[in-house]
Amino acid sequence: MSLSPSTRLGPVHLVVTDTERSAAFYAEAIGLRTHRRDDGVAALGAGAEDLLVLHEVPGAGPPAGHAGLYHFALLHPSRGELARAARRLAATGTAIQGASDHGFSEAIYLADPDGNGIELYADRPREVWPDPQDAIPPGGPLPLDLRGLLELSDGDGPADPGLVVGHIHLHVGDLDRALAFYRDVIGFEPTMVIPSAAFVSAGGYHHHLGLNIWRGRGAGTVASGTVGLSRWTVVLPDRGEVERVAARVAAAGLESEEVADGFVVSDPWGIPLHVAAEAG
C-alpha cells in the first residue's frame, strides 16, 4: 500500500504570465538554466533533468483563496550549496519572505515574479533529525542563522547539478479528504499531522508533500486562468510500482489519463498529479 522508499519528486509545472520574465528570474536568482523553450513553454533545470516547466498564460490572475500551490521546494545537496544560493539571492537583490530552521532542514522562502512560492533548502543528516512531533515548536519554526549560512560561501555561481525537487506544499480545503487521497490512494505515509496541516512522505523522509488549510476549510477547487501549479510529479522506481498505484486509483473510482511513462490523476481540488516511472 505504501509507496516505494525509492520514490522521489520530478518536475514541477507552473503557470506564469510571461515565460521570458520568469525564465530570466529563475536563471538570475536561482541559478537554473533553460533546457528548451517552445511556444510559451520553458523547461529549466540545474543538471540533466527538468526541475521546472513554465507554461505561459498571459493575463492569468493571482490565486483568489482557492486550493493550489503554497510553495515548491528545491533541495540543495549540502549546506554549502544552500549558502551559495543565499549568496546569489543577496548578489541579485532578490527579496526573501522568510528564513527558518526546521531542525531537519534549513530553508529560505521567496516568490517568483507571479507570486508562486519557492523554498530553497538543505537537509541536515538524518541521524540528527528531530522527532516529527517536535519539529514545530509551540512558537513556530526557529529563525535561520542566515548570517552564519552566508559565511560558509563567498561564491554565487550557477545552481549545483545535484539540485532536485525536494517537496511540494499545497493549500487544500480539508485535511481528511486530502489524506484520503494522498495517503489512502496514492500511498504516502503521514509523518506529522497537526490541526491545520499534515505532512506525508515515502521512505521515512520528513516530507515529500505538505498539506494545509491556511486558506480556510472548504477552500474551493483550483480556478482556471490563475497562476500557480499546473501539475507536479511523483517518480516511482519502475512500471510495476506505477501500475500498483494506478490500480488503487481505479479502485477508488477516480478518473486518470494514461501517459507514456505513467498516468495523471487529479486530487479532490483539481490539482493534477503525474505519477511516472523512472526512465530507463
Which CATH number applies to 8-277: 3.40.50.2300, 3.10.180.10, 3.40.190.80, 3.60.60.10? 3.10.180.10
DSSP SS3 for 114: coil
Considering the entire predicted model, what is its pTM?
0.96
The 10s digit of each residue's pLDDT in 82-106 is 999 999 999 999 999 999 999 999 9
**Cα separation of 167 and 261, whole Å?**
21
In one-letter notation, the amino acid at residue 182 is: Y
pLDDT given at position 153: 83
Average confidence (pLDDT) over 220-227 = 91
Average pLDDT, the chain: 95
Q: Which residue ranges make up each domain of the chain? A: 8-277
Residue 272 has phi, psi (to 5 degrees) of -75, 135
Side-chain-side CA neighbours of residue 224 (13 Å) = 0
The 10s digit of each residue's pLDDT in 143-174 is 999 999 999 987 778 999 999 999 999 999 99
**Cα separation of 265 and 178, whole Å?**
14
CA 247 distance to own-chain centroid? 25
- Quick one: pLDDT band at residue 135, thresholds 50, 70, 90? low
The 10s digit of each residue's pLDDT in 41-71 is 999 999 999 999 999 999 999 988 899 999 9
Average confidence (pLDDT) over 20-37 = 97
Whether 139 has a pLDDT exceeding 80, the answer reads: no
- Quick one: pLDDT band at residue 261, thresholds 50, 70, 90? very high
Whether 191 has a pLDDT exceeding 80, the answer reads: yes
Whether 176 has a pLDDT exceeding 90, the answer reads: yes
pLDDT given at position 224: 86
**Cα separation of 114 and 233, whole Å?**
21
| E strand intervals along 222-278 | 228-236, 256-259, 262-266, 272-277
